[in-house]
Amino acid sequence: MKRISENKIYWGDLHSHCAISYGEGNLENAIKRASQQLDFCSVTGHAFWPDIDSLTKDKEDIKNYHLQGFIKLKKNWRHILAILKIFEKKYNIKIFPSYEWHSLKYGDHNIYSNDFNLKLLSANNINDLKKKLTKNNLVIPHHIGYGKNKRGINWDFYSSQLSPFVEIFSMHGCSINENNPFTMLHDMGTLTGNGTAISGWNKNKIFGVIGSTDHHGGYPGSFGQGRMAVISNNNSKKELWNAFKKRRVYAATGDKINIFFTINNMHMGSKINKCKNRSINIEVSSISAIESIILFKNDKKYKVFNIKSKKEIKKIITGSLEVAWGWGKKYSAIKWDGKVSLEKGIINDYQTCFRGMPKLEPNQKHYLKNSDLLNELKEIEGRIHFKSITTGNYSLKDPAYQAFKIHISSPSDDNLKIFVNKKEYKVSIKDLAINGSKVFYMKGWLSELIKIGPFSHQDELYFSKKIIDSKPSQKTDRYRVEVIQNNGERAWSSPIWVSN
């Protein structure tokens, strides 16, 4: 099927933190890490909390570290903007400056600028704040699931003015609906029915959805903790910004799941008027196996497409696999230096899956130093070279291992060669495809290890479908797409609204 869009998909994280306010890690390392995996980013400073004095005395510690962070940010704001401008050029990544405006009543919002002239502005309520801003700003709600009066979304005060989308996935969890597997576990609370995206759409609010990490350890794009995609003509800041405003955005957990979703050739985020015959096109691709694609109509499952691979072994095996390293003892620091190559085949593409320490607040401590997490990966003459430092997994829910994924085309008798920390391993591609992953312990059981696999067949990595819907259900129907992968990673498109 011919691609349904000539536009491209670009990846970013518009919500992360480091030590510019309260958080950990220096600003340059944060931008450097972002540039390894993303096309654009923002490192957000905590700046204001107008109703902070309503906190009770038992929350004095929370009040204090926020106020200290605000003072620190304001003191250095001009320098931060100036150095971000330098880093944008140095690391070849688009940077959108931002600061965070907290509120129990109105919910937490980030304020963005499309240039480096962003002023720190505040107000007692969200509407007055927006009046102080311009068309060069965006005001984006996040961790909306906590709901009203708990620093989540308050739909009573939401308007799409300067707020074309909301953040539904981050380290806090997922707020798309109440029936999702990404539980909100922070001590701020958990998901409430009036804090979901669906509750906002049911109130006839018009907005798209994104993911971002909200990482507080200087690691924008930390894998598995939230990313956003934008569909744009190119990755200039002007075009990205225009796409933001048109809601041509969507949310993903970690893997770069590519979604092109149109109705009558109009992209996600669009509003289509006077249309009864809807030609719906969905095209999805990923570097990991896709399990299912769900087309929702008015938040009910309209079509479900399950991907079933033939798992054929041909003379040329095409697909993807993961290379992951880490594990071992929790209080250790393991240095890794490795090379991965094919004896006969070709590495067509690769994606990094680098992650930071799971950090959301100042008192979280980990064994590794923040500066240790400067992963390196290069492709040199068909070989993948990587360097890294890992520790044992932080908990049974918080992985510390690092990884990358490669898409390959190999003869059926080909082998993947791994040379790491002065040890050499060889894995049959055919064996991987038939029998699954291989694990090599570097020093025996209970030590650090490297894992090769799983293997995903080519027919698990791509899906396309055209659907005709000529039966409007209500005055305005809302369509959206959700993609679920075998490894649990997901993506949620912004809706398309179609009125008859």
pLDDT per position as a tens digit, 407-438: 999 999 999 999 999 999 999 999 999 999 99
Assign 3-class secondary structure to 400-438. CCEEEEEEEEEECCCEEEEEECCEEEEEEHHHHHHHCCE
- How far is 182 from 190, CA to CA, in rounded Å? 11
Predicted TM-score (pTM) of this structure: 0.96
- How far is 317 from 455, CA to CA, in rounded Å? 11
Query: CA 372 → CA 6, 43, 91, 171, 398, distances in Å?
Result: 40, 19, 19, 21, 18
Say what the pLDDT of residue 60 is. Answer: 95
Partners of 13 in the β-ladder: 41
Residue found by looking up tokens 């200290």 in the block: 68
How buried is residue 28: exposed, middle or buried, by Cβ count under 10 Å (0-12/13-18/19+)?
middle
**31 SS3 class:** helix
For residue 388, the surrounding DSSP H or E stretch is strand 383-390
Say what the pLDDT of residue 232 is. Answer: 98
Say what the pLDDT of residue 3 is. Answer: 46
User: Residue-wise over 244-269: b if at least 16 C-beta within 10 A, else e?
Assistant: bbbbbbbbbbbbbbbbbbbbeebbbb
pLDDT confidence of 57, banded at 50, 70, 90? very high
With CA atoms as reference, report the closest residue to 226 among 194, 203, 250, 252: 252
Per-residue pLDDT of 238-271, as tens digits, reads 999 999 999 999 999 999 999 999 999 999 999 9
Per-residue pLDDT of 323-366, as tens digits, reads 999 999 988 899 999 999 999 999 999 999 999 988 777 666 66
Output the average pLDDT for the chain: 95
For 180-211, the DSSP string reads -S----STT----GGGSHHHHHHTT---EEEE
CB of 252 closer than 8 Å to CB of 229: yes
Please give the structure tokens belonging to residue 138. Answer: 């965006």
CB of 471 closer than 8 Å to CB of 457: no
- How far is 11 from 251, CA to CA, in rounded Å? 10
Per-residue pLDDT of 169-227, as tens digits, reads 999 999 999 999 999 999 899 999 999 999 999 999 999 999 999 999 999 999 999 99
